[in-house]
Every structure is written in structure tokens, then in C-alpha cells.
């Protein structure tokens, strides 16, 4: 799971309706896997990213720092886009777990796949 | 990329080794997946540089087609299928994410509008009645721009009515043939997937639909 997906996942346990995002990552095994650099895609993505969450998650995982705010010249800022590319699309969490800040539910990540399935009583 | 080239790559995707009947797991063939994604890309510009979701991705044939042309996320309920999808991605050096989730229950509020295009080959709702419409409704809610999906032609009128109700456009892009085994099993071009399919197949009509917001 890359951080682009983490940026969108929320807890969906029954009645967990507030404070269910972002899921806190723990015991993460991180792997960097090279991906094709596509600046147009990144520029399209920019307005969709919850930026503070991405910055925080990158920091927690000990990734190279990304700016606290999206720079104004982001679209043409090659260094910024390269950095974002690496954090957003090349950083894979292979093992670990995600914990809901509200209800404490644990979602495991195994072999790169987050398991968001719930038990019958949690739906 | 040329259509034939895309189809050629997809032909090497592994599919279900032990399909689960309750999920109506029929793989999308390379031929069909390549054409679906090629149409979405070249005619509607819905793929390249876009975020694409694959609802009920199974072994990920559609996801991989989408990722060769764009970037995306696959969702499925079956860990075995997702594991195969992940292996397929590794084999093709495709970097995409899969999320294990039950789309009939999952709350995906934060994905709303973040995913531009959703592609899907949903279960036809023969094992769990209505599941096709549940997934379609959810896909239309989440997608920012459009949804591409496959449905039995016999449900076309119902779907058109629903699309109107949901305030989205619906266009039939192609009429396809699928094979029907017994009275409740469908398959795209791949005969004898399930062991008890001993009877001769019967073709049924399937629509390739595009919903636009």
C-alpha cells in the first residue's frame, strides 16, 4: 500500500463516524519501489491530497521531508514533484497495521495489502 | 500504446486458480479488458493521468490494463484473488494498490471524487441478488467523472431507469456475448472454469456501459 491510498482510507466500523481518519500506521515495514515519474498525474492529484496528513505520515515513517505547505509554483517545481512522487507513489508499506484514532480498530497490512474487511458485528 | 500490444500484455495475467462461486468470479478476458480500457482512454480520455478504481478487481486484469495506461486502486473482498492480482502486478512491474474490502458494506466517503474513473466487471447478482446494482450505485457515488461497467442486457431498461434516478448519463458502448452455464453462471470466453459446468454453454447478451456524471 502506498501513501496515496493511505491518504484516502478511513475507519468504517459501525458507528465510528467521527475521528476515523487518518489511520495511524504502526510497525511499518517500508519498501521503496521505483515507479515511472508522471508529473501530469501528480499535478492532477495535488488538490485531492490531504496535505497535512501526508506530511505527517511521511515524517512518522522517516521518509525524506516534503514541505509543510504545497509550494505556489508546485506545477513547475521539478524538485518538489520528484519528492512528492517518491513519497506518494514509490513508498510501499509492506507490513504493519493501521489504527483508527477514534475507536482503536486495527486494520492489518499484509504483503502490501490493507485488510479493511470487518467482522459481522462491526458492520 | 496500441490495442494489440495492450491485449498481448494482459494475456499473461494469471487468473483465479480456484474461483469462488459465491463471488461469481469470472475473469475479464485480455481481449475484453484491453478493449474496455482502450475505449475509455482513446474515446473519452478517462484513463491517462487519471485516478482509476477497479470495483471487484478479482485477479486484477482490468486494473492492470488501467495501470498500463493510467494509475489506480483495486478493491475486492477475496484475499486469494487480490494475492493473484498483486502477483500479476509484480510480474509486469506495475505499481498499484489493492484494498481488501467488502464493497457492499465499505464506507469510502473519502474516496468520493478522488477517484476519477471507475471500471468494473461486477458480479451479475445471480448468487447474491441485487449485488450488481449495489456496486454500481456505489461506483457512481464515488467516481468523479465516469463509471464503465458490464451488465446483463436483460437489465438494461432497469439500469437506464436507475441512471436517470441517480442523475447520471448512461450510454451503451458495446453489446457483448457471454456464456451461460446452467441458469446462474456466466463466463467470458473461458469455458469450464467451474467443475460442475458439464452442460453445453448458452450465450447471453451483456452490455458494456458508460455512466457519466
Q: Which string of b and e fits B113-144 if b means at least 16 CB within 10 Å?
A: ebbbbbbbbbbbbbeeeebbbbbbebbbbbbb
Q: CATH topology for A3-116?
A: N-terminal domain of TfIIb (2.20.25)
Q: Which of the four pLDDT bands, split at 50, 70 and 90, describes residue B181?
A: very low
Give yes or no for residue A112 having a pLDDT over 70: yes
Query: Where are chain A's structural domains?
Result: 3-116
- Residues of chain A in contact with residue B50, where contact means CB-CB under 8 angstroms, are 41, 44
Name the residue among A21, A44, A116 with its Cβ closest to that of B99. Answer: A116
Kindly state the cell numbers that stand for A27. Answer: 510497525
Strands (E), B69-190: 71-76, 97-100, 117-120, 146-152, 169-181, 185-187
A28 shares contact with chain B (CB less than 8 Å): no
Instruction: List pLDDT tens digits, range B40-68.
Output: 999 999 999 899 999 999 888 899 988 88
Residues 51-70 of A with CB under 8 A from B: none
Query: Containing domain of residue B94, as a range?
Result: 3-12+24-212
Question: How many other CB atoms are found less than 10 A from the CB of residue A74?
Answer: 15
The number of C-beta contacts closer than 8 angstroms across A and B is 70
**Would you call A61 helix, strand, or coil by DSSP?**
coil
Alpha carbon distance B32, B65 (integer Å): 10
Is residue B158 a part of any domain in this protein?
yes
Average pLDDT, chain B: 84
Is residue B19 a part of any domain in this protein?
no
Give yes or no for residue B186 having a pLDDT over 50: no
Mark yes or no for CB contact A2/B100 under 8 Å: no
Is residue B17 a part of any domain in this protein?
no
Instruction: List pLDDT tens digits, range B188-210.
Output: 443 444 444 445 556 678 889 99
SS (H, E, C) B32-65: HHHHHHHHHHHCCCCCCCCEEEEECCCCCHHHHH
- Of the listed ranges A40-44, A93-97, B21-25, B184-188, the least confidently predicted one is B184-188
Domain count of chain B? 1
Alpha carbon distance B142, B144 (integer Å): 6
Distance set, CA A85 to CA A94, B46, B89, B113 (Å): 18, 21, 19, 21
Provide the shortest C-alpha distance from residue A94 to chain B (in Å): 11
DSSP annotation of B101: -
Which chain B residues have any C-beta within 8 angstroms of a chain A C-beta? 49-51, 70-71, 73, 77, 79, 82-83, 86, 95, 97-102, 105-111, 113-114
Name the residue among B83, B86, B95 with its Cβ closest to that of A35. Answer: B95
Alpha carbon distance A18, A103 (integer Å): 9
Is residue B193 a part of any domain in this protein?
yes
Kindly give, in sequence order, each residue whose CB lies less than 8 Å from that of residue B106, ignoring residues fewer than 6 positions away.
A12, A116, B75
CATH number at residue B40: 3.40.50.150
Map grid coordinates 506545477 to a residue.
A75
Is residue B89 a part of any domain in this protein?
yes
pLDDT for B23:
80
Provide the shortest C-alpha distance from residue A19 to chain B (in Å): 13
Instruction: List pLDDT tens digits, range A12-71.
Output: 999 999 899 999 999 999 999 998 899 999 998 999 999 999 999 999 999 998 999 999
Amino acid at each position: 500500500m502506498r501513501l496515496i491510498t493511505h491518504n484516502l482510507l478511513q475507519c468504517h466500523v459501525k458507528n465510528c463516524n467521527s475521528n476515523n481518519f487518518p489511520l495511524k500506521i504502526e510497525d511499518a515495514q517500508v519498501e521503496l519501489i521505483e515507479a515511472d515519474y508522471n508529473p501530469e498525474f501528480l499535478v492532477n492529484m495535488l488538490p485531492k491530497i490531504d496535505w497535512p496528513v501526508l506530511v505527517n505520515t511521511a515524517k512518522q515513517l522517516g521518509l525524506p521531508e516534503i514541505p509543510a505547505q504545497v509550494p505556489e509554483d508546485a506545477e513547475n517545481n521539478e524538485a518538489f514533484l520528484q519528492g512528492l512522487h517518491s513519497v506518494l507513489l514509490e513508498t510501499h508499506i509492506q507490513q504493519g497495521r493501521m489504527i483508527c484514532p477514534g475507536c482503536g480498530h486495527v486494520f492489518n497490512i499484509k504483503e502490501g495489502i490493507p485488510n479493511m474487511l470487518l467482522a459481522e458485528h462491526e458492520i | 500504446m496500441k490495442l494489440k500490444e495492450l491485449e498481448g500484455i494482459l494475456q499473461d495475467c494469471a487468473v483465479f486458480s480456484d474461483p469462488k462461486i459465491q463471488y461469481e468470479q469470472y475473469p475479464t478476458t485480455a481481449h475484453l479488458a484491453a478493449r474496455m480500457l482502450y475505449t475509455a482512454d482513446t474515446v473519452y480520455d478517462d484513463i491517462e493521468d487519471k485516478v482509476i478504481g477497479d470495483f471487484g478487481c478479482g485477479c486484477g486484469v482490468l486494473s492492470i490494463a488501467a495501470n498500463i495506461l493510467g494509475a489506480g486502486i483495486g478493491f475486492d473482498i477475496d484475499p486469494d484473488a487480490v494475492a493473484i492480482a498483486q502477483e500479476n502486478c509484480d510480474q509486469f512491474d506495475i505499481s498499484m494498490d489493492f484494498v481488501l474490502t467488502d464493497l457492499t458494506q465499505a464506507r469510502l466517503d473519502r474516496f468520493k471524487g478522488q477517484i476519477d474513473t471507475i471500471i468494473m466487471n461486477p458480479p451479475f447478482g445471480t448468487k447474491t441478488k441485487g449485488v450488481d446494482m449495489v456496486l454500481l450505485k456505489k461506483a457512481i457515488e464515488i467516481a468523479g467523472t465516469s463509471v464503465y461497467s458490464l451488465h446483463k442486457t436483460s437489465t438494461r431498461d432497469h439500469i437506464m431507469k436507475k441512471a436517470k434516478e441517480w442523475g447520471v448519463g448512461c450510454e451503451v458502448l458495446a453489446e457483448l456475448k457471454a456464456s451461460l452455464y446452467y441458469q446462474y453462471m456466466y463466463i467470458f470466453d473461458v469455458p469450464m472454469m467451474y467443475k460442475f459446468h458439464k452442460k453445453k454453454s448458452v450465450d447471453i447478451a451483456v452490455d458494456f456501459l458508460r455512466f457519466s456524471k
